[in-house]
Every structure is written in C-alpha cells, then in structure tokens.
Structure 1
C-alpha cells in the first residue's frame, strides 16, 4: 500500500511514528476525449488569451482575485515559508470526544495509519480509544493545507478521517424552497414509519454495488471482445527528397513569384476637334 505521508501522532507526551495510506480509491470509469474525425486524444494546452500563445509551467504564478480582474500575486517561496512555519510532520491530538457528536456532513477523506516503529505506543492508543469509546480530534498539514481530522479505530487499525472546518460547510438555512412546517397527517406519518420499519436491516456494505459502472464496463468489454474499437490515425510522414537537384528545383518552384497577367493595351487618345 502506497505511503503518502510520514510523521507521528502525538497526544500528551506520547509520540507514535506513523505512515498514512489512502483508505479509499476512486473507481469511476474514466474516458479520454478523442477527435471524432481521427480518434486522436485531444491535448489541453495552457493558453494566455491576452498574448495568444502557449504558456510554460515556469511562466505561471499564483494569483488571488481580490476584485474582478485584479489579483494579488503570491510567490512560491512565500507559501513555502508559511508552510514550514506550521508543518511539523506531527498529527497533534488536541481533544477527545464521542464519535456520534460529529455530523457526517463534516467528513471528507479517510486514511489508514500504520506504525513506523513504536508498535507498543500504537497499540496503546488503539486500545485506549477502543475502551474509552472516544475518538481523537487532531490537526495535520497535508499538501500545503492544514486539516482538521478524527483519529479512531476501524477493524483493529487506526484510521484518520479529515473533516471540514465549520466555515467550509454551507448553512442548511441557505437551501432554497425548504418547507417551514411539515404539512402531513398523523396517518401519513404512521404509514411512512411502518415502511421504514419494514425496510430496516443491518448495514452490510457488500450488499451495495455500483450498477451503472458495472454496465459501462460490460459495454466496454463487449466492444473489445467484438473488436469494435478505434485506433489513433497515424500521422503521415513528410515526403523526403532523396535527389538533391529535385529538392532544389521544388524549392525554387514553390518560392517563384507568380507571373503578372499582361495588362490591357492603352487606348489611343481621342483626337481633339482642333487637331489635324
């Protein structure tokens, strides 16, 4: 399992060296964008609309838009200095709480935590969290962003789940068209609760499948088996002139100025009445 961060967990004077591993993965079926005419993958280039030319990565700087069309430029060295000031490569547990106190809307991304030495201290925290039925609230810097996180036990392994800060969660009161009161009858409520009771079961994650993804993969497999696929159109190589004289003559012909069309002859001037 790929290690994406190394550091330590600290709570009180206890320090546990750990590694972070992504606990989930995106299994969406990803498609490439092809040119319909020749089925070549489309390139996405960084173009400056003002200069009308492609921009290299080293020519790009970070800017924060403070007003329409006005930016404050922040240099990479300035961001690096700020990052080093807060990044200590430690997951500092600052509080312990009950997991049910956190609404699921706050949860973001899950990581497994493996011990990087210090197995006894790892086991101590795992056991203490399990028996106290608590989770740790911690802070950690990942990819230049200070994250709030929950540390808990999952299947005998410590996991860390990053959670959103309160100002990152939009207010439910701002959701439009939510009715202010429940305009339902007692009979309707009783019937709905009866239906919920009939559908209530124990959560089994293996029961749920991504049916759309499965059907897309089946379609791709069927097309591949039937050899119903396209290939990238090869770029035709430029014709090479092996005869030096032929190449020279072709160059002359291509650069030869076009001959001017002969102009019409000028008409003779009309004789005036006084001329003889």
Structure 2
C-alpha cells in the first residue's frame, strides 16, 4: 500500500480537515545507466575538486549559490534553517478563485488528498461546495523544508492538490515575437476561418486519457525483449541511481517471458550429442566409460 508523502490538516476558514498527501502520478519513466562497454559494469562518479582533480569527501563539502560567474556566497546550515518556513503541519488555503483563471502553464504536479479517520464529513463538505461554486482554493504547503504554492480542487470523489509554479519561474509569452492582431491583418478570409473551424470540429472527441500511451517507452520495451542483458548482480554504489533497478528488472521479466533461456536449450544439445554418440563406431564408444572411470 502506498505511503503518504505528508500528513497534516487542510485548513480553510475555521475548518480543519485531517488529510494525507498521496502521490497522484506513477513513476514509469525509463532511467538509463551508463555501463563500461568492455565488461558491462556500471559507472560510478566521484566528487572531484575542479582545480586539484582530487576527490573531496562529504565532510568537506559545503553549500553555496552562485550570484555571479565563479563568485559564490557560502550558506551555512543555520542560514538554511532560519530561512525555512516554520509551518509544516497544514495546507493553508488563503483564497478561492475561479477554476479558469489559473493558466495551464502554472500547473506542475498532481497529488491526491485522502481524509483521515472520522474526517469524511469536512472532506465531503469542502469537495461538494467547491464543485457547486466552481472554484479552487489557492494554498501553501510545506513539504520537508520547502514551501510550495498549490491549488486545491474537487475532481469526482477526490480533493486533488496541484502544485503551482511561482510566476517568477514562468516566461511570459509576450517576451517572444508572436503574431498579434486580427485574422484579417494576415489575409485570412472568413471562409477560410469557417473551414478551419469545421475541420477542428470534425476532429473533436470526448477526452479519454486511457487511450494515450507513452509510445517511446512501449517501443523501447519491445527492443529490450530482443536485447541480451547481462544477468549479474552489480554491487551497490553510494552514488548509484535509484531508478535504474526498476528498468533492469522490467527488461529481465520480459526476457524471462518472451525469450528461451540457455537452460531450456541445453536438453536439445545433450540429445544431439547422444544421438551422435550412438552413430559412432563401437571403438569410440568403449573409450568414454574408461575416461569417466579415470575421473
């Protein structure tokens, strides 16, 4: 069973609803690992001083941010702690806005809010009220040491929490050279606009997300089924990527199901050798037991 990423309360006005924050996405991306082509062993990376070329132990590594090229400000642990937000136990809804006013480019990552024990009443009350007024709550939540801007929205039977990007992280479309003005300024007649609208309408269907699939991952899995994988347990490294194991085990499972292993071919080889030995002259056949006895 999935474990909650965060547990606390969803607060709006004077109402507090105990909730758990559960992931709203599955990690199915393929992670690649670099191997040495000579022996198929995984590569590991070291922390190297850019000037001396020597490895730096973890105890000698400090954090800093670069405010100018090759100019750094060192940040101590105390500085990070004092700058971190203090509230870690609640999702504080600050306001409610219309669903359509938040641009699509603000949305980043989905989560599902699950009510705690005996908290269903407040959960359903907020969910159904948001559906009725067609608004989403804009809130802040602290996960670990970072504060995030988020939106709380009602969707079917769930309250979902959608991470939002801060506006400072977004590039305004106006920064690019885009065609503005009316269609007539680009010599687009009304008849052509009508034909384009008819074309789009003819392509319109209902939204069925289950009909879409990551085709790259699907094709790569098919390629992996015909690729020989070294069946050897590699030693774990401190800096080893954690998402590689899933990919390797997935490919190995496909190989086990769709490709005959050498163990299955072995009996055929033995039968062939036995058949060959049966056809051999009697003189050669008598030598085999003597060799076996000598061993």
TM-score w.r.t. the length of structure 1 is 0.76
Q: 1:232 to 1:8 in 2, by over 3 A?
A: same
Q: 1:180 to 1:119 in 2, by over 3 A?
A: closer
2:111 equivalent to 1:111: yes
- Normalized per residue, the structure richer in helix is 2
- Alpha-carbon deviations, 1:122-180, whole Å to 9, x = none? 2221222122222111111224222111101122011100111211111112225x334
**Bigger radius of gyration:** 1
Mapped contact 1:64–1:72 kept (Cα < 8 A): yes
Q: Which runs of 4+ in 1 moved over 3 A?
A: 179-182, 230-235
**1:191 paired residue number:** 195
SS in structure 1 opposite 2:147? strand
2:22 equivalent to 1:21: yes
Q: 1:180 to 1:135 in 2, by over 3 A?
A: closer
Q: Report the RMSD for the aligned CA atoms in angstroms.
A: 2.2
SS in structure 1 opposite 2:80? helix
TM-score w.r.t. the length of structure 2 is 0.72
- Alpha-carbon deviations, 1:45-95, whole Å to 9, x = none? 111112321122232211111222111111122212322x43242111111
Q: Where do 5+ consecutive residues of structure 1 fail to align?
A: 236-276
Distance 1:38 1:127 in 2: 60
TM-aligned CA deviation for residue 212 of structure 1? 1.7
Kindly report which structure 2 residues correspond to 1:1-276, keeping only aligned pairs within 5 A, or say none: 1-83=2-84, 85-117=85-117, 118-176=119-177, 178-181=178-181, 182=183, 183-186=186-189, 187-223=191-227, 228-230=228-230
Q: Where do 5+ consecutive residues of structure 2 fail to align?
A: 236-295
Q: 1:232 to 1:171 in 2, by over 3 A?
A: same
Q: 1:58 to 1:115 in 2, by over 3 A?
A: farther
Distance 1:122 1:172 in 2: 38
TM-aligned CA deviation for residue 184 of structure 1? 4.1
Distance 1:184 1:27 in 2: 46
Mapped contact 2:42–2:234 kept (Cα < 8 A): no
